[in-house]
Amino acid sequence: MNVSETIYSINFIFSFLTVIAALGDPVVKTKYGTIIGSNFNISAGRTIEFFTGIPFAKPPVGELRFEEPQPPDPWKTPLVAKSFEKMCVQFVPIPGINLNATEDCLFVNIARPSIRSPDSEGYPVLVWMYGGGFIGGSSQLYHNFDANDRIVSRGIILVSFNYRLGPFGFFATENNSALGNYGLWDQVQALKFINEVIPSFGGNPKRITIFGASAGGGSVSWMTYIPSAQELFQKVIPMCGCAHVSWAQNDKINYRSSLDLLNKTNCLEHQNPKECLRTKSVDEISAAENAGTMGISDSVYFGKWGPRINEDIANSTDFVEINKNLDYLYALNTQEDITLGINSGFLSKTALYFPIQPENAPSFNKSDFEAGIKFILSENGAFGSKAPEAIQKIIDFYENQTRQYSRNQYLQSYIQLFSDLHFNVPLLREVREKTKHGKNNVYVYVNDYVALKFRNPFVDGSAHCMDVPYIFGNLFNTEDLTDQTYVKTRDRMLEAFESFVKSGTPKTGEITFRKVENGKIPFTYITSDISLKEDLWPERVEFWNQIMEEFGFDWVTAKSTKKVQN
C-alpha cells in the first residue's frame, strides 16, 4: 500500500467512526482493534451499552481442533459487535438445540452502564460461565434483557462467553496425544482476554468475579486450581456445582466417551486417532454423539464429557489450590437432583432406577428404594467384594432420612441420596478445603424457595439451579412474576449478589451472610424469608467420608481411594 492509499484508508476509518459516533453507537478502542456496540434498552426507560460477538481466540478449527485456544488476531477495520455469534456445537438431546451452532464459536459479550464509573479504577466486573453438563449451553441463552436489567443497572459490567463442549471441548486419549480440557483452556483464554480489554470498557481488572451454575459452577471452581488462571479474578460464585465431583473430574468418563466416539467414526484403529477425528466434519461427529444421551443412566459414573485432572492443566495429578486469597460465595438448592432424578427422557428413556420416569414416581416405595441402590452399585462393581456391606450401610443411612419427609418418603430420600452424591457433599467438601488454606473468605447459601407454579408434584424443595432465574429471569420458563413472594426473594438475592461483587461480603437488608470458619459451615437459608443457620448437613459429609475410608471407593468422585480386594 502506497502513502496516498494509506492516508485514504485512515481518513475513511476516521470518517466511519465519526458517523458512528454521531449516530450514538458506543465505540471502544482496544489493543486488538476498535469495537462498535449498540445501545440496549432496559426497564424504566434506561439504556446500557452492549457489545456482542467479540472474538477472544482464533477459530478452533482445522489444526486448532483439539488444541488449546490461541489469542485472536487483531482486526484492522472496526468490529461491529451488535449481534450474538453462533453458539458452540451442542450435544444435548433436546430437539432444535443445535440450531445456529458452529465449531467457530469462541466469542465474548460485554454489557456496561452507559454512564462512566465514578470510581477512577472502573466498574466491578461479573463474568458468567454457563452450565449444561459440558455438552450444552451458550452465553447468548443467558445474556438477555433480564440479566442486563438486573445486573448492569446496579453498576456492574456483565460479561459472558462461549467455550467448547462435548468432544470438541474434552476429547482425550490415554496416551495423551489428545490431552482434553480444551473447554477449560477456552475459559482461561477468555479470562485473559477480558483482563486485557476490560479497562477499555471502563471495567476494573482487579475487581473481577467469576460465576457459573451446574457445569458452570464446576468451571469456576476449576479456575481456582489452574495456575495460568491465577490473578485473573478475585471473587468466585460456584452455584450448584463444583470441581470435586465425578461429573467434573474423571478420566474414566472421558476415555470411555472418547473410545466410543473413535469407534463410531471409524478412527479407533487409525495410526493417529486424533488426526483421523480432525478429518471428520462437525455433522459426522454430532451424528455419532447424538446417538446417545447424557450418559448417566443407572451408573455411578455421572456424565459423558468433562474435565480431567492432568499435569497439563493443573501442574498436578491431584487438586492443589493455587490462590489462597479469594472470596467465595457457594450456592446450593435443597433438592438439586429433582430435575435429573425424575426425568421424562431428557437423560435416558431406558433407565431402570436412575433417572426415574415420572409415571413411576408416585408409587416409588421401599422395595424400589433398596433395589435401585443395589442395582446401580452392583452393576458398576464400585465396592468390589465389600459391596453388600457398603450397600446396606448406604440403604440404612438414607432410609433413616425418610423421617424428615411427610409424603413420598422413599422417593424423597432417594432423590436426596443423588443430590448428595452429585452436588451437596462434593461442594461441602470443597468449602471445608477452602477454609483450611490461606486467607479465603467463604460464604454459603441454600435456596429452598420455589414459586408455587413450579413446585414438583412428588418431591419437596428447590431443584437444580432454581436460584439461577433470580439473575437471568425467565429463560427456561422458571420464573413467575405474578408471585410477589418470589419477586421479593429475587430482589433480596440480587442485593446479596451485588454486595458480594462490590465488597466481597454478601448481605441483604439487615442480614449479613456468615463467613465459614474451620469446622462448622454456617449458611444463609433462603425461603420466603431469609435466615442464618448454624451448620450445613455435617452428618451427610461425614457419612460419605466414612464410606470412602472404610470401603476404598468414593461414590462422590466415582474413584477408588485404595485397592479393593476382590
**CA gap 554, 546 in Å, rounded:** 10
pLDDT level of residue 349 (50, 70, 90 thresholds): low
Q: Is the pLDDT of residue 564 over 70?
A: no
pLDDT at 519: 82
**CA gap 473, 408 in Å, rounded:** 31
**CA gap 349, 544 in Å, rounded:** 29
**CA gap 336, 241 in Å, rounded:** 10
In three-state secondary structure terms, 304 is coil
Q: How confident is the model over 351-357, as a mean pLDDT?
A: 79
pLDDT at 334: 96
| Highest mean pLDDT out of 141-150, 197-206, 436-445, 552-561 | 197-206
pLDDT level of residue 354 (50, 70, 90 thresholds): confident
Kindly state the DSSP code that residue 98 receives in the 8-state scheme.
Answer: T
Q: Is the pLDDT of residue 477 over 60?
A: yes
Mean pLDDT of the chain: 90
pLDDT level of residue 406 (50, 70, 90 thresholds): confident
pLDDT, one tens digit per residue, over 78-133 is 999 999 999 999 988 655 455 689 999 999 999 999 999 999 999 999 999 999 99
Please provide the size of the chain in residues. 566
User: Is the link from the previous residue into 26 a cis peptide, with omega within 30 of 0?
Assistant: no
pLDDT, one tens digit per residue, over 154-202 is 999 999 999 999 999 999 998 888 999 999 999 999 999 999 999 999 9
Whole-angstrom Cα Rg for the chain: 24
CB 539 within 8 A of CB 459: no
pLDDT at 549: 95
559, β-bridge pairs: 554
79, β-bridge pairs: 35
pLDDT at 416: 96
Greater confidence (8 vs 351) lies with 351
Q: How confident is the model over 304-322, as a mean pLDDT?
A: 77
- Which residues have CB under 8 Å from 263's CB, separation 6+? none
pLDDT at 21: 47
Residue by residue, DSSP assigns 215-227 as HHHHHHHHHTT-G
Stretch among 137-151, 248-262, 292-306 having the lowest mean pLDDT? 292-306
- Percentage of residues in the chain having pLDDT higher than 90: 73
**CA gap 268, 274 in Å, rounded:** 9
E strand or H helix that includes residue 526: strand 523-526
User: Which residue type, as a one-letter code, is found at position 562?
Assistant: K
pLDDT level of residue 323 (50, 70, 90 thresholds): low
E strand or H helix that includes residue 108: strand 107-113
Q: pTM of the predicted model, to two decimals?
A: 0.93
Question: What's the distance, Cα to Cα, between the start and end of the chain in Å?
Answer: 75
Q: How confident is the model over 37-42, as a mean pLDDT?
A: 96
- Helix 387-400 to helix 366-380 angle (10° resolution) is 150
Q: What separation in angstroms does the CA of 439 have from each of 132, 228, 283, 325?
A: 32, 20, 48, 5
- Which residues have CB under 8 Å from 162's CB, separation 6+? 85, 87, 88, 105, 106, 107, 138, 139, 186
Q: Is the pLDDT of residue 139 over 60?
A: yes
Q: Is the pLDDT of residue 443 over 90?
A: yes
pLDDT level of residue 250 (50, 70, 90 thresholds): confident
Stretch among 72-86, 246-260, 340-354 having the lowest mean pLDDT? 340-354
Stretch among 192-201, 221-230, 309-318 having the lowest mean pLDDT? 309-318
Q: HSE on the CB side for 287, CA within 13 Å?
A: 8
Stretch among 98-107, 331-340, 417-426 having the lowest mean pLDDT? 98-107
pLDDT at 61: 98
pLDDT at 322: 67
Phi, psi at 103, each rounded to 5°: -75, -30
Residue that the C-alpha cell 450435544 belongs to:
91
User: Which residue type, as a one-letter code, is found at position 503?
Assistant: S
Q: How confident is the model over 31-58, as a mean pLDDT?
A: 97
Stretch among 12-21, 60-69, 103-112, 465-474 having the lowest mean pLDDT? 12-21
Q: Is the pLDDT of residue 228 over 80?
A: yes
pLDDT at 96: 47
pLDDT at 317: 58
CB 159 within 8 A of CB 128: yes
Identify which of 165, 25, 193, 39 has the alpha carbon closest to the alpha carbon of residue 107: 193
pLDDT at 425: 98
Show the cell assigned to 26: 458506543
Stretch among 141-145, 441-445, 477-481 having the lowest mean pLDDT? 477-481
The 157-161 sheet, strands edge to edge: 38-41, 47-55, 107-113, 157-161, 123-129, 203-213, 235-239, 327-333, 441-447, 523-526, 530-533
Greater confidence (279 vs 348) lies with 279
pLDDT at 310: 83
Q: Is the pLDDT of residue 554 over 60?
A: yes
In three-state secondary structure terms, 27 is strand
pLDDT at 15: 46
Greater confidence (151 vs 380) lies with 151
Q: How confident is the model over 273-287, as a mean pLDDT?
A: 96
Task: Count other Cβ atoms within 10 Å, centred on residue 325.
Answer: 10
Stretch among 3-7, 77-81, 212-216, 448-452 having the lowest mean pLDDT? 3-7
- Which residues have CB under 8 Å from 558's CB, separation 6+? 246, 250, 252, 253, 300, 301, 302, 382
All structural domains of the chain, each given as residue ranges with its CATH number in brackets, are 1-234+274-323 (3.40.50.1820), 327-566 (3.40.50.1820)
Stretch among 17-31, 57-71, 233-247, 430-444 having the lowest mean pLDDT? 17-31
Identify which of 368, 350, 346, 467 has the alpha carbon closest to the alpha carbon of residue 415: 368
Residue that the C-alpha cell 450444552 belongs to:
136
The residue ranges of DSSP E strands in 396-492, in sequence order, are: 441-447
